[in-house]
Amino acid sequence: VRVREWYAALEGSVESDGDILDGTRVDFGSDLGLDDAAFTSELQAYVRFPFFGRIYAGWWWLDREGDETLSRTITFADQTLTASTRVQTELNLDVYYLSYEYALPTIPLGELFQLELGVLVGARAILAEAAIDSALGSGSDEGGIGLPVLGGRAALQMTKWLRADVELMGMTVSYAGRRASYLEAFAEVVAQPFTWLYAGVGYKFAQVEVSDDSGSSDFLLDVNISGFYLTAGIRF
């Protein structure tokens, strides 16, 4: 079981075409002031089966709130908000995942180093919701999608107590009025003072694009999230 505390910066945009009005592509930074780095959390559990591989399950989430004066007129979820309007913004993004890793034979590198390689296949469920509120009007919209992902992992055991890992997963799918593009990568170094305890630092990047046209409104979210994180875990 492990936890990550990810100090992540956010950039991207959101758009909601309502039943009546076409929406404006609203930038999280220049329009809503949501681009400052803030903590994002992740929980993960995995089980390792001899001769079979590993199964991972986890969840990471992002909750951001902003308070900004608009510099231009925007339309979101059938609400038009004019320039100089004070708006309060809320963005919620949840990513649930399940992955299977098939571990390839370990490659010894010299007397101390060992290289582990693995092939990953899994699924992601992405749920997103955005709301823009003001004294003159409020609008909110949401979208969601599930998609398969493929990727790989490499781990270098440098000593008995020091290890480095790199992982990359992603996929693009489209079906039933929904479209998603997902890319996730991280690199980390962890110390293992005991066989049951580890902790370290890393850097993670996630690119999430969700387009959901299945309902009465069209919702589009496009975000890049990146930053350093602290991680700790226990094995039992």
The proportion of the chain whose per-residue pLDDT surpasses 90, expressed as a percent, equals: 85
The model carries a pTM of 0.92
What is the predicted pLDDT for the residue at 143? 93
**Pair 119, 101: CB distance under 8 Å:** yes
pLDDT 10s digits, 114-134: 999 999 999 999 999 999 999
Mean pLDDT of the chain: 94
**Type of residue found at 216:** S
pLDDT 10s digits, 64-102: 999 999 999 999 999 999 999 999 999 999 999 999 999
- Relative to beta strand 178-194, strand 197-212 is antiparallel
**Whole-angstrom distance, CA of residue 90 vs CA of residue 196:** 39
pLDDT 10s digits, 167-200: 999 999 999 889 999 999 999 999 999 989 999 9
> 215 pLDDT exceeds 80?
no
